[in-house]
Amino acid sequence: MALEELGNYKNLVVDYSVIREFGGTAVFAQFIDGIVRTSPDVYVSASFKLLHYCVVHQGDSKDDAAQSAMKEFCSLLLPLHKLHSVQTADTVEFLKAVEPIGDCCIVLARDSIFSKRIREKNIRIDKDILVLTATDYCVFHGSEEFINAVPLPEVSKIALKKAYLDSSAFCNVGDKVITGGDKQLELTKRISSGAEGMVFLTDNRLKVAKIYHKNVITPLRWSKLTKMVAMGIKSSGICWPQDLLFYKGVPVGYTMFLGKGKTLGNIFDGPDAMFNNFPEWTREDIAATLINLIEKYLYLHMHNIVAGDIQLKNALLYSSNAVYLIDMDSVQVGNLPCPVGTEEFTDPRLWGRDFAGFVRKLEDEDYSIAMLVFSTLFCGLHPYATRNGAETLREEILEKNFPYFLDDSEEEHIPLGGYNYIWKYLSPTLRTMLYNTFKLGRSYEALQWYEAVLEYKENLAGHKYEDPEAYKMFPKMDYHATVDAEENIPGDRNSVAPGVKKRFNSLAEARQYSSGIHNPFAAAAGSSNPGMSGSAFSRPAGFESPSSGRNSPFVPKAEGNAAKPAAQPEPNQDTKKKRFGLF
């Protein structure tokens, strides 16, 4: 197809989905030819860079074409000063900023994050919208026409079927299962068992097998697994289904890559658990862990996937640079819903609904991401956990009894243990967003949370805070750490008997001890894994990394000592100037 319509516009608003979904295809080649032919000015939001960081950090080989496409795109436009960035990741604010641009067309993919946000929020804008697909394209005259022609999906009827596909077939260690590609795998060792099934090591050291119990595989589950396997996601930090498995011709499960570490729920469980697992950690490690998590959920969003059941037990942590999403077989894929949810991490608007009966929106996931941000930054604490509060957490949530204030005027309801100091030392942006979310009921997009945590991490890495307490895992608190000694090293003055916990008199002593061979996480924490690290990735010309500072949307103006943050204005209020700049 020839994108002749591009010649009708002097300006283009381009969504990142054009790069990720069509890089390396004839569609993208036609798109680039159109830009060369017409030489328009191109405008992108802050999400353009942010989403590219997410893609690069996942280390999925199928995204190599997207990286090449980004280099080609930037190399074409940057030397001509034709690529402009609008410094906001919020969809509404971005469209307000580009609305005055005349003779303009918005270019996006049909089911991209940007496309879904426009439809979910019913955003009205008079710009033409050019929607690309793998084989065709269509131009809509204004968002109203686009929304009417491309409605949000209805839940698949298969979700309502309650029958089960499995029979009396049962397999265990030593049995051989067959993949959908007719390859044989032997189950060599059972490594875990749960309510849904068992996980086995196999004779393929790169893959493990999840074998379901009887009366677990519904038509919805199997249809979803079939679609997920076909998607071919191979991110190093997402335990995504890779092959369907059959035993004696009967569907029994799937293979996936093996994650490492403990669940976040076991580690982010207050001071004792945090110090026992990672006594050497600082605030920067916590921020890095959170960035890794949000990146993975955004990566799923780019594939038209909503995680649905976000909670701390659904991720494994080996180091701040090695985080793994697990239990992926429950996610929502297109119009195949996620049938489960955890009330504490679910927007109260959805409480009481049958999760299998509707398609969740990205805005439904925004609340869960906000919960993840708070719970991670506060080492497992719930935002509505209060001192001397209501009898149940549910009451606190419904009443929005968020015990933290921007001016720190009240602290008597904040739980004891140093959480008031964690709050005080957060960046003003994060404090404001958390307060507006959990006290005022405001919603922020997942990309905005990602941007805010990146800013916080860069402040920490750049030593923007004067008070050294701002960098401690629990500021102004003196905790004693205990560490399980893995082995007794002859001649080591710190050695203890295997299985005995070593008690330290200070955190400094614990850090010194844990930096040695006793700590199984020490080596991993200092490693640089291109697939997982927040800094080890290649950037196309014109991109600054989040740590470079120059023209970066992640590095704010110096804020001085973060120990005394004043109440901040709403980040996206109308008085804030929209900033256009060269990309």
> Among the listed ranges 97-101, 114-118, 145-149, 505-509, which one has the minimum average pLDDT value?
505-509
Q: According to the model, what pLDDT value does residue 165 have?
A: 84
CA angle 509, 511, 517 (to 5 degrees): 110
Q: According to the model, what pLDDT value does residue 481 have?
A: 55
Q: Look over the chain and give the mean of its residue pLDDT values, rounded to a whole number.
A: 84
Q: Is 151 exposed, middle or buried (0-12, 13-18, 19+ CB in 10 A)?
A: exposed
Evaluate whether 11 touches 40 at the Cβ level (below 8 Å).
yes
Q: According to the model, what pLDDT value does residue 414 have?
A: 96
Q: Among 87, 93, 14, 23, which residue's Cα sits nearest to residue 55?
A: 23
Rounded Cα distance, 567 and 407, in Å? 5
Going by pLDDT thresholds of 50, 70 and 90, the confidence category of residue 215 is confident
Q: Is the pLDDT of residue 496 over 50?
A: no
Give the whole-number percent of the chain exceeding pLDDT 90: 75
Rounded Cα distance, 267 and 316, in Å? 9
Rounded Cα distance, 554 and 547, in Å? 8
- Stretch 525-551: mean pLDDT, rounded? 32
Q: Is the pLDDT of residue 106 over 70?
A: yes
Q: Which residue has the higher pLDDT, 155 or 567?
A: 155
> pLDDT tens, 227-264?
999 999 999 899 999 999 999 999 999 999 999 999 99
Rounded Cα distance, 20 and 4, in Å? 22
Q: According to the model, what pLDDT value does residue 2 have?
A: 61
Q: Long-range contacts of range 65-71, CB-CB < 8 Å, 24 or more positions apart?
A: 65/23, 65/24, 65/25, 66/19, 66/20, 66/23, 66/24, 67/23, 67/538, 67/540, 68/23, 68/24, 69/19, 69/22, 69/23, 69/24, 69/28, 70/19, 70/23, 70/540, 71/540, 71/541
Q: According to the model, what pLDDT value does residue 4 have?
A: 82
Q: According to the model, what pLDDT value does residue 161 have?
A: 87
> pLDDT tens, 426-468?
999 999 999 999 999 999 999 999 999 999 999 999 999 999 9
Q: According to the model, what pLDDT value does residue 169 have?
A: 74
Q: What is the CATH number of domain 262-537?
A: 1.10.510.10
Q: According to the model, what pLDDT value does residue 529 have?
A: 31
Q: Is the pLDDT of residue 556 over 80?
A: no
Strand partners, 105: 12, 128
Q: According to the model, what pLDDT value does residue 26 have?
A: 94
Three-state SS at 214: coil
Three-state SS at 183: coil
Q: According to the model, what pLDDT value does residue 121 have?
A: 97
> Among the listed ranges 125-129, 419-423, 493-497, which one has the minimum average pLDDT value?
493-497
> Among the listed ranges 318-332, 450-464, 469-483, which one has the minimum average pLDDT value?
469-483
> E strands of 455-497, at which residues?
482-484
Q: What is the CATH number of domain 4-149?
A: 3.40.50.1010
Q: What is the CATH number of domain 176-257?
A: 3.30.200.20
Q: According to the model, what pLDDT value does residue 390 have?
A: 86
Q: Which residue has the higher pLDDT, 500 or 82?
A: 82
Q: According to the model, what pLDDT value does residue 480 have?
A: 60
Please list the alpha-helical segments (H only) found in 202-345: 219-231, 264-267, 271-277, 283-302
Q: According to the model, what pLDDT value does residue 554 have?
A: 26
Q: According to the model, what pLDDT value does residue 576 have?
A: 36
* DSSP run (H or E) holding 457: helix 446-461
> pLDDT tens, 362-408?
999 999 999 999 999 999 999 999 998 888 999 999 999 999 999 98
Q: Among 309, 307, 310, 316, which residue's Cα sits nearest to residue 267?
A: 316
> E strands of 479-543, at which residues?
482-484, 501-503
- Stretch 55-65: mean pLDDT, rounded? 95
Q: According to the model, what pLDDT value does residue 163 have?
A: 86
Q: According to the model, what pLDDT value does residue 583 have?
A: 56
Q: Is the pLDDT of residue 509 over 80?
A: no
Most confident of 4-13, 90-99, 548-557: 90-99
Rounded Cα distance, 336 and 440, in Å? 32
Rounded Cα distance, 140 and 130, in Å? 6
Q: Where are the domains of the chain?
A: 4-149, 176-257, 262-537
Helix axes 64-77, 26-38, angle to 10 degrees: 0
> pLDDT tens, 14-29?
999 999 999 999 999 9
Q: Is the pLDDT of residue 500 over 70?
A: no
